[in-house]
Amino acid sequence: MENHGGNKEKNKEKNKKSLTNKVWKQTADNKEYDEKKTLYQNFLAFSGKSDEDFSSVVFEDFLSPFDFKDMRIAVDLLEDVIAKNERILIFGDYDLDGMSGTAVLFLALKILGANVSYRLPSREDGYGLSEKFIDEAYKNNVKLFITTDCGVSNVAEIEKARQYGMNVIITDHHSVGEVLPDANAILHPLVSGESFSDKNLTGAGVAWYFSRAMLQNRFGKEKTRSIEIELLEIALLGTVADCGALTGENRKIVFLGLEKLRTTKNKGLLELMSVSKTNINEITAETIAFFIAPRLNASGRIAHPRLSLELLLGNKERAYDLEELNKKRQDMVNVFFAEANEQVIGDGENNQVDNPAIIVKSTQWPGGIIGLISGRLAEQYARPTIAFEITEEKITGSCRGPVGFDIAKVLKDIQRDFPAYFYGCGGHAQAAGLSLYPEYFNDFCNEFNARVVDIRGTVPPLPELSYLSEIKGVCTLSEIKELQQAEPFGIGNPSPCFRFSKCVVVRSRAVGKDKNHLSLFLRSPISGQGNLSAIWFRGGEFEMSIPENTIIDVLAIPKINTWNGQDSISLQVVDVMLENSLNKMG
Ligand SMILES: [Mn+2]
């Protein structure tokens, strides 16, 4: 471990762990909360952002879709195909990003009067485009094949499509390999030489830009604004669900998309909000990430993604199907996560508690669930994690990594050096997937562990939680309202988390149907005279650890709670540290 020597207090703090076993880390070093400034001004200083980063968005702010180097080619080709009334097929991915991209393109192409249909694979078909879909499209006389949220790595499949005489337009955002497919046009922010300046669009975002271009090209830029905005409410879903960084174009998509969504006429989305008890007037990027996206993704995980696509296209009956699938999905995850966690902490020599990487496996876990298992494990242990579904012919893994660890790159590197292990792999820095030949499974695991050790060392760093600073002085309701102008919060623009020191617990009570949340009343320097209310989602288990009169430090996001038309401050607790609870770690 590094040692800067000297400061004993600091070392103590460094090794002190919280109730969730994490080390707290202030992201902005050497900066003190400035009591003369407002909470928002402090937030700007701590996060290194300026007021302009959070200015209100207007539609004119969007980049032009024709900034994409291949957009003109794509749109001309499309018009040619539509003029001949030839068949167009949109091929998407099975997750919400892919479904949203498919829905956006389908709706736009319908408006253009195109002869268009769509096809989504199921999990059993595997990720991305396989040859059987090309054969199927050829048999159905498809002349233009458009991918969304996939395609950029399907060199062989697209070669086959071209040999069949099909035209192909790829729209994607996944990591780009050394060889690009021979498509007529590739719309992808990351291909080399791409002139579109924003690199963070997700599949749905790229599809939305393509839709804008085709609409503007046909009807003229001035006449299509309202349709473009309408399509934003769907594009925003994929952007949020796929963890697109909420800066630049993604921030604009989500900002204006949310505004549109609050007055949506889409019967499917309206029913989904109602069934999931989501208040459409208060919808945020976070509500979408935690409540809406999981429901829309449930179909692709354990049934067929077509169900969610139908909902996005307006079918309200599907809201009930998705609600049921989501309940089933939750039950499955709970059971399978417990099994996976047992593999990590269980007795015997297979215990992985101190391992640099975590690898769990089962023949019973479905491919649509392993990503959720590895996600939860990675969150809990802050280590590169893979959950595998084992079958006789093929072993499929889903990987998640801690921030700063590029898991897709590690997989690609192993694939480059040991191509025989792999059916394939791909994904992003923090989430990726792979499939392996069973005979090489152990070799792969050894290689993966070795590379994780190379990068992170043999002793995994303790899991950390970041916060901006300690809040000093009294924090008012209007200050928190001012802070809200930095929304939408999410990936790339995290909800501002602060430290509230030396809070006295006035009341602590587990609440909710399964008592899994913790409701707290605190007395704190920041609340002035009154009590401060706080809620810790999924913190119910700590009720006994923080009885009344305990003194605690709290990491929390300051929020506004509206009840009966009355606004009040409510801290959304992220973690708690007991005063003087020194841990032996370190
Ligand atoms: Mn995607």
Per-residue model confidence as pLDDT tens digits over 376-403? 999 888 899 999 999 999 999 999 998 8
Under the banding of pLDDT at 50, 70 and 90, the label for residue 428 is confident
Residue 7 pLDDT more than 80?
no
Q: Quote the pTM value.
A: 0.89
State the distance from the centre of ligand 1 to the C-alpha of 170, rounded, in angstroms. Answer: 13
State the distance from the centre of ligand 1 to the C-alpha of 405, rounded, in angstroms. Answer: 19
Per-residue model confidence as pLDDT tens digits over 236-262? 999 999 988 999 999 999 999 999 999
Per-residue model confidence as pLDDT tens digits over 289-347? 999 999 999 999 999 999 999 999 999 999 999 999 999 999 999 999 999 999 999 86
State the distance from the centre of ligand 1 to the C-alpha of 97, rounded, in angstroms. Answer: 5
Q: Give every CB contact of residue 256 below 8 A, 6+ residues apart in sequence.
A: 57, 59, 229, 232
What is the percentage of the chain residues whose pLDDT exceeds 90?
A: 77
State the distance from the centre of ligand 1 to the C-alpha of 54, rounded, in angstroms. Answer: 25
State the distance from the centre of ligand 1 to the C-alpha of 209, rounded, in angstroms. Answer: 15
State the distance from the centre of ligand 1 to the C-alpha of 203, rounded, in angstroms. Answer: 5
Q: What is the pLDDT of residue 346?
A: 86
Which residue type does 529 have?
A: Q
State the distance from the centre of ligand 1 to the C-alpha of 84, rounded, in angstroms. Answer: 31
Residue 47 pLDDT more than 90?
no
Under the banding of pLDDT at 50, 70 and 90, the label for residue 2 is very low
State the distance from the centre of ligand 1 to the C-alpha of 163, rounded, in angstroms. Answer: 27
Instruction: Name the least confident of 147-151, 216-220, 471-475, 553-557.
Output: 471-475
State the distance from the centre of ligand 1 to the C-alpha of 243, rounded, in angstroms. Answer: 9
Q: For residues 185 and 80, what is the distance between their CA atoms, to the nearest angstrom?
A: 14
Q: For residues 486 and 310, what is the distance between their CA atoms, to the nearest angstrom?
A: 33
State the distance from the centre of ligand 1 to the C-alpha of 410, rounded, in angstroms. Answer: 19
Q: Which residues pair with 385 in a beta bridge?
A: 358, 400
Under the banding of pLDDT at 50, 70 and 90, the label for residue 212 is very high
Going from the C-alpha of 292 to that of each of 17, 69, 175, the distances in angstroms are 33, 34, 26
Q: What is the mean pLDDT of residues 465-477?
A: 86
Picking from 61, 419, 6, the residue whose alpha carbon sits closest to that of residue 251 is 61
State the distance from the centre of ligand 1 to the C-alpha of 274, rounded, in angstroms. Answer: 27
Domains of the chain, CATH where assigned? 8-28+469-578 (2.40.50.460), 62-261 (3.90.1640.30), 346-462 (3.10.310.30)
Q: Give every CB contact of residue 565 below 8 A, 6+ residues apart in sequence.
A: none
State the distance from the centre of ligand 1 to the C-alpha of 455, rounded, in angstroms. Answer: 27
